[in-house]
Structure 1
Amino acid sequence: MSHRPIALEPAAVDVEVRGGIRPADVRHAKETVAALTRLAHEPVLRATVKLVASPHPGERRTAQAVLDVRGRLIHAQATAESTRKAVHLLNDRLRARLLKTTRDWENLRGRELRDGEPGRRHPAPPEEPLPHRPRREDPVIVRRKTYALERAIPDEAVFDMEQSDYDFHLFTEAATGQDSVVYRAGPRSRGDGYRLAQLDPRPGLLGPVRAALTVSPVPAPVLTEQEAVERLEFTGRPFVFYADAATGRGCVLYHRYDGHYGLITPTPA
């Protein structure tokens, strides 16, 4: 028996607004995301959208969305010079991820990602990097996220990162037991592949890796939270992966689109 999709009505789409967002753009986002839920082959339990307008003139607008498809989260985000255009780009990316996931998620996770298969990365619609470094006089950590790190092989971590439309993914590497982070080795448009960093790199123990992946030979620095902030500012990089001086666990401190910081830490074992 075929399963009939269960879509959401626009009123059921939750929208969080930050900054000066017009009511018409909120309605447009609700209608856009609700229409996409008709593509799901399983019930969509919840859809959330975040629309962000920076208070600084001339900065780009951001639209983010998360669909809970029967417990499976599908993420997408886009930036543009206007909220309406950001929602339009978000529609394209969310549609692509929803269709890709719907085709055969369970089979993809256990198979080799050969060229041409749905799990292999394909170019997304043209996108500029998030404006992660608007200058602030007093940036602080405004978002903290703690979760139990998934145990996965690098190929699975790359797949999960791409499905979530993130620039990095913190996880526990299955073969070595190391807290690790996988990230893009260069701009998305250039197709440079991926990079893996670990607390104590053990590339010889990783086993076969199908993704275009290189391994950093440098151990993660042992830092306090304040030292991580100082290193992030000094290096100018989008994020810093480090071993927490108190717990020894792998953490990621990153620049947010609003000029502040976000911190991801693992749940204590």
Structure 2
Amino acid sequence: MRHRPIALDPADVQVKVRGGIRPADVLRARQTMAELARLSHEPVLDARITLATAPGLAARRRTAQAVLDVQGRLIRARASAASTRAAIHVLRDRLRARLLESTRDWENRRGRHHRQRTSANAAANAADSVAGRAAGSGGEPRIVRRLAADRTVPDEAVVDMEQLGYDFLLFVEDVTGQDSVVYRAGRGYRLAQLVPDPCLPTPTCAAISISPSPAARLTLDEAVERLELTGWPFVFFADADTGAGCVLHRRDDGDYGLLSTAHGD
């Protein structure tokens, strides 16, 4: 059961501005966040958005980054475009998708009927577990698939990775259009691309090194085998059929997580 939309006054939205941002875009950002709050299944305790001019070689790009605190659960998104208005538009679509996904997860956990939500959850979780294990032979780990379609620059990808608490992040590099991954490497970070592009601007963060090696082209079975044999935290590869960038990793629940770029689906 859906709750009634929860109102958020645009004036309550906290806006940070970096660089020359027009007042009209600040107002648009406040209104956009307030409208998005109506999609939430729980109270939005806080809404923040940062509008900025990208640094360095990406100075002509405008970025918009937002965080919604939905009853203690943080919903984040970031977008960049040639104008602040366009960046807010893209950000709105990304936040909307993540809010709706969050809502579906919330409803699934509680069931469709309030009185039966505890038993419904138990039954659903049990069914998911059985179905997931049945998908593999002999109770082997299943593959949990997700899309990774964010388009950004390596420096922003590292910031997103740190804010989300991840050890790696798959994304589409904004300048070259290459499927790429950033990950922790020693005391710094490492960037790998499907095919290292000489046109890639040097990251402004000196702690990001660039791998000169192209990603291997693998089937999913080959990626699983490589992950198991090497013991690496993840395997970055090009899908043997589509050529899309993918990351295979071991999840905390014992299953495999498969991230892939949207155009590879």
Query: Please, what TM-score do these two structures have when normalized by structure 1?
Result: 0.50
User: Is the Cα–Cα contact under 8 Å of residues 4 and 41 in structure 1 kept in the other structure?
Assistant: no
How far is the alpha carbon of 1:216 from its aligned partner? 1.3
CA distance in 2, matches of 1:219, 1:138: 34
- Larger relative helix fraction: 2
Structure 1 pair 41–172 and aligned structure 2 pair: CA distance change class (3 A): closer
| Structure 1 residue 139: Cα displacement | 4.0
Kindly state the Cα deviation for residue 195 of structure 1 after the two structures are TM-superposed: 0.5
Give 1 or 2 for the bigger CA radius of gyration: 2
Identity %: 48
> Matches of 1:48 and 1:238 in 2, distance apart?
32
Q: Which runs of 5+ in 1 are unaligned?
A: 14-33, 50-64, 75-136, 187-191
| Match of residue 239 from structure 1 | 234
* Higher relative contact order structure (alpha carbons within 8 Å, sequence separation ≥ 6): 1
The normalised TM-score by structure 2 is 0.51
Matches within 5 A, 1:189-228: 192-202=187-197, 204-211=198-205, 212-228=207-223
CA contact (8 A) 2:45 2:71 kept: no
Query: CA offsets, 1:244-265, max 9 Å, x none?
Result: 0001111011110011111011
Distance 2:152 2:67 in 1: 26
For residue 161 of structure 2, give the secondary structure of its aligned residue in structure 1: helix
Please list the CA deviations of residues 47-75 of structure 1 after superposition, one character each: whole Å capped at 9, or x if unmatched: 378xxxxxxxxxxxxxxx4336973879x
Q: What is the Cα deviation at residue 194 of structure 1?
A: 0.7
Q: How far apart, CA to CA, are the structure 2 residues paired with 1:47 and 1:241?
A: 32
Instruction: Give the conservation status (yes or no) of the 8 Å contact 1:48–1:67.
Output: no
Deviation at 1:150, TM superposition (A): 2.5
Query: Among 250, 257, 260, which residue is 1:262 paired with?
Result: 257
Counterpart-to-counterpart distance in 1, 2:210 and 2:239? 21
Give the number of aligned pairs: 160
Residue 70 (structure 2) aligns with? 47
* Structure 1 residue ranges (4+ consecutive) displaced by more than 4 angstroms after TM superposition: 41-46
> Structure 2: any 5+ residue segments left out of the alignment?
1-8, 14-33, 50-65, 78-91, 100-137
